[in-house]
Homo-oligomer: A and B are copies of this chain.
Amino acid sequence: MARTVSCYDCGNTYAFDERKRCACGEPLWFETTPDEFAWDDAGAIDDAWRYIDALPVSNPTGVAPGGTPLVRAERLDEYAGCTLSLKHEGQNPTGSFKDRGSAVGIGYALEAGQAWVGTVSHGNMALSMSAYAAGAGLDCAVFVPADTPAERLELIGRHDPEIFRVEGDYGRLYADTLSLDAPVNFVNSDTPLRVAGQKTVAYEIVEQSAPDAPDAIVLPVSSGGQASAVWKALRELETAGAIDEIPRLYFCQAAACDPIAAAYRDDEPRVTPVTPEETIAVSIANADPPSGTRALAAARETGGAVVSVPDAAIRDAMDRLATRVGLSVEPSSAVAVAGVRRLAQRGEIEPSDDVVTVLTGSGYKERYDADVRSRTIDLDDVERELASVVGR
């Protein structure tokens, strides 16, 4: 079945397998304009396949992604400076939002009779693609930097992909895999199949917020793939009349590697590469984001913005999420929560704004050195020790 992809910038259209990116240089996404979105069953969302009419697959199998909770986080309203809700993507099958895109990529590969899929990632995307390929009986090529630590590969290795440790400029791999002559479907960061699947997080957010769409949606941004997907989904919903107005889109980066935020604050028309510094938000430290300019356009056209936050703010956000909401998230996810606070401090977000922040991945997949507070007691002293802490 021929499907059309189009360019958000110059408007060109192509058949899906004709080109990987637009002749103008910008990324492509699937042209879909669902005529309607069914809201009949009052927002009970099993999973992302609820929205299959808007996706380039027909009969997906495997573990369904999505259907994640939208959590009202009133205990963070004061910190965040808004009426805050959190979309908990750590509850996807492999613990991150990436499963939405991977499931579509794998589904398409199965329908197209492709034996191999691939990905350029040593993090969530690699884990997600390896797992989904394993479930579908497809082979998966995973490209990681040669110096990736063994512990990081151990999780991915459980699903038994073909792992290639690449010596050289890892950043070149995105472009290289697009032009490879190999029968491998690379479902990378901002490819049309991944972007299509990632749209479902926005459909869910809007449905879970019904009848009123949020005033703003906030995401961490790396390649710009999810940012693009959310924008595309909201545009479709507006076209379909399911929402009156597109929520403002805010994207957040780590200050140590913030090419999109830099272009936004410098009023640049396009995103250009930066030289990254160290940050705990490793998984979003993309110095040359392939959909950076598309993300920039999304923020501007929706009346949003792109901001960056320092590591100290990221750590603080992680701690607040864990101790006041009970959610442990990755540093890259916490970036968006720290970003909301920054936006509120700058007056771009107001206390009465309904803001949904996407928590992209579970923190339990990461381990940190920490001095964990505890006390050692004797079994016979349990009652007395407990009373001294609990009080009367």
Residues of A within 8 A of B (CB): 41-47, 62-64, 67, 69, 71, 75, 88, 91-95, 115-116, 118, 127, 130-137, 139, 141, 143-144, 146, 150-151, 153-160, 162-170, 172-173, 176-177, 180-184, 318-319, 322-328, 362-365, 367-370, 372-380, 382-383, 385-387, 389-390, 392
Contact = CB atoms under 8 A, between A and B. Distances in A.
A364 B367 contact: no
A131 B382 CA distance: 23
A94 B367 contact: no
Per assembly, the copies of the chain total 2
A392 B183 CA distance: 8
A145 B62 CA distance: 39
B137 A75 contact: yes
A328 B159 contact: yes
14 contacts: A67-B67, A95-B95, A139-B390, A141-B386, A141-B390, A155-B328, A157-B370, A157-B372, A157-B373, A164-B377, A177-B382, A180-B383, A182-B383, A184-B390
A379 B172 contact: yes
Contacts of A131: 322, 326-328
B63 A386 contact: no
Interface of A is mostly: mixed
A135 B137 CA distance: 40
Contacts of A95: 95, 362, 364
A63 B377 CA distance: 32
A374 B162 CA distance: 7
A159 B323 contact: yes
B176 A382 contact: yes
Contacts of A135: 75, 324-327
A371 to B, nearest CB: 9
A35 B192 CA distance: 49
Contact of A69 (B47, B75, B322, B374): B47
Given A158-B370, A160-B323, A367-B367, 19 more contacts: A43-B46, A93-B327, A118-B386, A132-B326, A150-B372, A154-B367, A154-B368, A154-B372, A158-B322, A160-B373, A164-B376, A166-B377, A166-B379, A167-B378, A173-B382, A180-B386, A182-B390, A364-B364, A365-B365
Contacts of A44: 41, 44-46
Most chain B CB neighbours (cut-off 10 Å) among A45, A63, A383 = A63
A322 B134 contact: yes
A77 to B, nearest CB: 13
Contacts of A155: 328, 364, 367
A94 B364 contact: yes
A127 B327 CA distance: 11
B322 A382 contact: no
A136 B75 CA distance: 9
Contacts of A328: 94, 131, 155, 158-159
A153 to B, nearest CB: 4
B372 A327 contact: no
Contacts of A322: 131, 134, 158-160
A259 B294 CA distance: 60
A303 B164 CA distance: 50
Contacts of A373: 157, 160, 163
B367 A151 contact: yes
A390 to B, nearest CB: 5
Contact of A375 (B163, B365, B386): B163
Nearest 5 pairs of A and B residues by beta carbon: A168-B379, A135-B326, A157-B372, A163-B374, A131-B326
A134 B324 contact: yes
A164 to B, nearest CB: 5
A122 to B, nearest CB: 11
